[in-house]
A and B are shown apart, each in its own frame.
Chain A
Amino acid sequence: MGPRQRMVARHEDWSALRASETARMLDACTRCGACAEACPMLPYAPAAAGAAAPDLVRGVLDALTGGPSDPAALAWIAACTRTGSCNAACPHGVNPMLMLRLAKWRANETGALAKRDASETMSRVKVFARLGFTEEEQKQWL
């Protein structure tokens, strides 16, 4: 475990980062499907059952670029829990784990995938803090 270096910002903002990564992934990915074949979450995506791994990848790349994708690929994207087995399996350094995550963001934006309802998340976090933190801790820690 070596020392972790301080990072230098390489992108103007997240949009620029996403655009740069999307272009890189589209260029690097050969649609071989090794990432899908390695994924332990596919059994939890019934709509993807029987789909060929290269077709799943094509559907993910379509979602990544704002296309409608297809039910099998969207089910795979939705079932991704960032296990990372895909990254170990990818022979081309694509970073499929990030590819699926960015595809999910894009699919959330286009409406191809429903957004997770997080409307009460922060309110709940605050109530738990009031239950579990002292007043001084709330002042110092939040």
Chain B
Amino acid sequence: MAVTENLFWYGCNMTRHGEIIRLSQRLLEAVGVGAAPVGGPGACCGSPKESTPRIAEGMADRTMDKFSASGANRVITWCPSCHMNLDDFMGQSKAQDFDSRHLCEALWERREALAPLLTHPVKTRFLVDRHVGFHNQVPVNDIIPGLLSMIPGAEHVDHPLRGASYMCFGLANVPGALPDHLRATLDAVRDSGADTLVTIFHSCHREMVGLERDHGVRVLNWVHLLAEGMGWDYADDYKTWRNAEDKLAAIGPDRVAEAGEVAVRKLVLPELERPRPL
């Protein structure tokens, strides 16, 4: 972890989306906010282990100690689980020398610097996958359409649909809930005449990229769309892998070998090959 004024706390499950981390860091830097990415198992909020709160607390405490030791003045969050745990538990039981913002808030605060950089027109009518649960803590459902609407040519298509939970991860664990949300989302795309579905969070992106292959709607994360407005190239590897017939071939033999083929077959392939909710 580099010495820095700000940390960009991407969480743990975002390791699937390295390009979003890179683009987020680059966007922040473009508007004058230097931020070092930090995450993975060594900077966990405890959420994955909260069935055993004692273990979750230990992980969260270590993360707080790490943040404090970094000397950063601000932690910029990505993951709503991390953000809520920071507010509701971590910051309630550990002293902290930093404040926090969600990434979209950090960019919104600098929107006057961001707007003139969005010079590449992206002709699209986009619908944002919005959930109810996190909006009361950070108004993501308003800020993100606001940011994306600064891209020349990009038209936000408003729709009243709001999914339950705060991202698709929660719905995926309740039988029937995720397919219902995806069906409602596809209906909203059709009803509104959108050509692009924009995800806000990583777990939503994971669940929705399959719609691009099976239902013909382009699926991007909001950071991807901002990057396009900046004229930056990127590759959404997770979408490519999830939608490929041969996942291992799509990843490529060299990358599989570097990551460890046994581990990739045991831990990555089952996720990429899991049944599609729709």
Q: Are B133 and A81 in contact (CB under 8 A)?
A: yes
Contact pattern, A 71-93, Cβ under 8 Å of B = 1, otherwise 0: 00000001101111101100000
Task: Please determine whether B108 and A1 come into contact, CB atoms closer than 8 angstroms.
Answer: yes
Residues of A contacting B170 in the complex (Cβ-Cβ under 8 angstroms): 81-82
Instruction: Kindly list chain B residues whose C-beta atoms are within 8 Å of the C-beta of A83.
Output: 131-133, 164-166
B38 in contact with A141 (CB, 8 Å): yes
A9 to B91, CA, bound (A): 6
Q: With contacts defined as CB atoms under 8 Å apart, how many contacts are there between chain A and chain B in the complex?
A: 166
Tell me which residues from 21 to 67 in chain B have a Cβ below 8 Å from any Cβ of chain A.
21, 36-42, 44, 48-53, 56-57, 60
Q: Is the CB of A41 within 8 A of B268?
A: no
Q: Which of A11, A17, A127, A137 contacts B263 (CB 8 A)?
A: A127
Is B119 part of the binding interface, using a Cβ–Cβ cutoff of 8 Å?
Answer: no
Q: Of B1, B18, B37, B131, which contacts A132 at CB under 8 A?
A: B18
- Within 118-140 of A, Cβ neighbours of B (below 8 Å) are at 118, 120-133, 137, 140
A16 at the interface (CB under 8 A from B): yes
Residue from A1, A17, A118 within 8 A of B48 (CB atoms): A118
Mark B residues whose CB is within 8 Å of A. Answer: 1-2, 10, 12-13, 15-19, 21, 36-42, 44, 48-53, 56-57, 60, 84, 87-89, 91-101, 105, 108, 131-133, 136, 139, 164-166, 170-171, 173-177, 237, 251, 255-256, 258-260, 263-264, 267-268, 271
On A, residues with C-beta under 8 Å from B are 1, 3-14, 16-18, 40-41, 44, 78-79, 81-85, 87-88, 98, 105, 108-109, 115-116, 118, 120-133, 137, 140-142
